[in-house]
Amino acid sequence: MHIDHIGIAVKDLETAIETYEKLLNTPCYKKEVVESQKVETAFLQTGQSKVELLGATDPDSVITKYIEKKGEGLHHVAFEVEDIHAEIERLKSEGFTLLSDAPKPGADKKQIVFLHPKSSNGVLVELCQTVK
């Protein structure tokens, strides 16, 4: 496992892209809408990891609700795994609570699943596996 990316919830994706391009001194290399999550993402590479900016595409988006409750900021930390199904079973056996029993399609050619923040000291953790 390694940190694949950190996700940051933002109100205005275009403004956030400009901010993080200046901050990280690197361009946004990819934007993608994930219809099932009602989110538009933008990725910036920083070393071996990425920053994923998350903007809502719908008032019912989980990102909209997150920002209303907690404001803009760190949304999740994502760890790349080799076998997401094995990790789901391993973490369940260790007592972690997952937000779904099976991975779902995510941005950046990934299958994803989230751990409930109560299982990980208040941090929303995403597991992701690149679809080959």
Instruction: Give all domains of the chain, ordered by start, each with its CATH number.
Output: 2-130 (3.10.180.10)
pLDDT of residue 50: 97
pLDDT in tens, 19-61: 999 999 999 999 999 998 999 999 999 999 999 999 999 999 9
- Please state, in angstroms and as integers, the Cα–Cα distance from residue 106 to each residue in 93, 99, 113, following that order: 24, 14, 9
pLDDT in tens, 59-115: 999 999 999 999 999 999 999 999 999 999 999 999 999 999 899 999 999 999 999
Q: CA–CA separation, 83 vs 87, rounded Å?
A: 6
**Where does the chain have alpha helices with state H?**
13-24, 62-70, 84-93
pTM: 0.91
